[in-house]
Amino acid sequence: MYVIFEGIDTTGKSTQVAFFQERHEGVIATKEPGGTKTGQKLRQILLEGEDKLSFNAELFLFLADRALHYDTVVKEARKERMVISDRGFVSGISYAMANHPSSDAEFLLQLNRFALDGTYPDKIVLFLTNKELLNARLSGKEHDVIEQRGVSYLLQIQDIMRTIVKALPIQVLEVDASLERETIYTAIEEFLYD
């Protein structure tokens, strides 16, 4: 099974991915961007790069990472094991649409499905936050290029994510990121192992 944990920064995705890897033998935990050695280099370019990337350059770097990640980490493993990725194509489309509002959502979906070898994940867990919680969590960390765009920008991304997942033929669980970690974990576990 292939599952993506989606949501904007500081919603607890990485924490929950780590919980599942620790508590369930055989779970493969990965992430986008950066789930492969080449992907780590692409992640550095995307999130810490010195060059200002054009919309198309940024989009295609994310798609290259996604295609490589799917081919080398997910594709075969999903047949026999649970693969949980911290982010995936929903983030890719959402950030692209926020950065370039005239983007064609259907075209972006086609590009991402192409990068995923014509498939989708089996399930999506979408972590949701609010302005107060986001401000509190962002204040305690160093910001990458995306986070430097501000809280309003990140909440716009979250709204786009919610719209996208509602239109997909994939089971989705929405999680309130303000809940206790164990409460969130239990809800996700029930959703994934149901």
Q: Phi and psi dihedrals of 17, rounded to 5?
A: -60, -45
Q: For the chain, how many structural domains are there in total?
A: 1
- Residue type for position 148: Q
pLDDT exceeding 90 applies to what percent of the chain?
72
The CATH number given to whatever domain includes residue 146 is 3.40.50.300
| Cα 114 off chain centre by | 17
Alpha carbon distance 118, 28 (integer Å): 21
Tell me the pLDDT of the chain (194 aa) as tens digits: 999 999 998 899 999 999 999 999 999 999 998 899 998 998 888 877 678 888 898 899 999 999 999 999 999 999 999 999 999 999 999 989 998 888 899 999 999 999 999 999 999 999 999 999 888 877 765 544 454 566 889 999 999 999 999 999 999 999 999 999 999 999 999 999 97
> Measuring CA to CA, how many Å separate 124 from each of 4, 62, 103, 156?
5, 19, 23, 19
pLDDT, tens only, 58-88: 899 999 999 999 999 999 999 999 999 999 9
Alpha carbon distance 74, 116 (integer Å): 9
The residue segments making up the domain with residue 23 are 2-192
